[in-house]
Amino acid sequence: MIDVARARAETPGCEKVIHFNSCGASLMPAPVLQAVKDHLDLEAGIGGYEAADKQRAEIDGLYDSAARYFNCSPGEIAVVENATVAWDMAFYGLSFQPGDRILTAMSEYAANYIAYLQIAKRTGAVIEVIPNDNAGQIDVAALERMIDRKAKLISITHVPTNGGLVNPAEKVGKVARSAGVPYLLDACQSFGQMPLDVEKIGCDMASVTGRKFMRGPRGTGLLYVRRSMLDKLEPPFLDLRAASWTGPDSYELQPDAKRFENWEKYIAGMIGLKTAIDYAMGWGMENIEARVVELAGNFRRKLASVPGVVVRDLGERPCGIVSFTKDGVRPEDIKARMAEEGINCSTSSRFSTRLDMTARDLHMLSRTGIHYFNTEAETDRFVELLEAMRA
């Protein structure tokens, strides 16, 4: 159980706004904010390098905290700028031959799909999209039928940017494992709102961001790479953090996932992200997930009772992202109207998830990201305002 009063008391933003944008950037809890500020003060006071020397244990602790969250070892974690860089370091580290098949899904994120298109153009690899089942999530049986010798990568988004769908990541992992096909998971929107155990899921690589449901600082991201996968990836960029210059004609890669990093880091952000992961795990990821699913489920029911509103979330058991449309009212206008009332929500356009939005004939959605610090009173207020909006 989540003590919501305590969660709110520990979230300074809860006094100022109704925040339904944890899928964009969440509200940092006070301990995270304090950790970032303290480190910035230390840097200003004694110098950035000297501050990092003093805080070495906290900085290194990020790898341990992330490893606890993912159920992996600290050496399987790389710390980078954001989820996109994390994902790119994995994807562009793979090599493809003409005819190699990249298997992805309907809800794929634009940045990832653009990268597939570039690599397809460059190498002759082909992109193939796994169809959805009747619930609107990845059809795992169809994926099984798509596996052959030419299937070189399964790369999917766990929770898409545009709705509450949770793809069956574990079932996909079973297929990937039995076929021996590398499996890259974009877990950007699931990180921080549910547990992510890479052993259970069976993914070989996963990318996440700090600022969304994990409630960390902006400008932070992590890449998980399974140890057995390390030597199958050629890091697309190397620097003196990723490798050492061992002789006039030689270099050696870091023995662990740090080979996907680069040297300069947002150190205050690293300490902030460590604090955010510890803070989330202090609540318990199962507890966070249970509260988020309940609150978001109730919100969907309230929304569905508003005339003209259609809830757009797919999947068997949707998560904390709640998406909808209202007849005759533009999502941009809903966002602006809510902002006037101190409520943060967002929109998602076809350009972020083109395959899914085109298949459903959608151009723009209203998108909210509900977290455990939100309340029924807040979602009531939202629904009341939405009801009053006329075409």
Ligand X SMILES: *Cc1c(COP(=O)(O)O)cnc(C)c1O
- Please give the residue ranges that form the binding site for ligand X (CB under 6 A): 82-84, 109, 157, 160-161, 186, 188-189, 209, 221
b/e 233-255 (16+ beta carbons within 10 angstroms → b): bebeeeeebbbeeeeeeeeebbe
Shortest CB 171 distance to ligand X, Å: 19
Shortest CB 148 distance to ligand X, Å: 27
Of 221 and 315, nearer to ligand X (C-beta) is: 221
Distance, in Å, from the CA atom of 14 to the CA atom of 226, rounded to the nearest integer, reads 38
Of 127 and 329, nearer to ligand X (C-beta) is: 127
Q: Give me 374's structure tokens.
A: 């939100």
Distance, in Å, from the CA atom of 355 to the CA atom of 105, rounded to the nearest integer, reads 9
Q: Which of 351, 359, 295 has the alpha carbon at shortest distance from 321? A: 295
Of 221 and 269, nearer to ligand X (C-beta) is: 221
Shortest CB 90 distance to ligand X, Å: 12
Going along the chain, which residue ranges are E strands? 18-19, 77-80, 101-105, 126-130, 151-157, 183-186, 205-209, 221-225, 243-247, 250-253, 309-311, 321-326, 343-344, 346-349, 364-369
Shortest CB 337 distance to ligand X, Å: 24
| Residue where the block lists tokens 């995270």 | 32
Of 48 and 219, nearer to ligand X (C-beta) is: 219
Shortest CB 115 distance to ligand X, Å: 11
Of 116 and 302, nearer to ligand X (C-beta) is: 116
Of 209 and 344, nearer to ligand X (C-beta) is: 209
Shortest CB 124 distance to ligand X, Å: 26
CA atoms within 13 A on the CB side of 202: 16
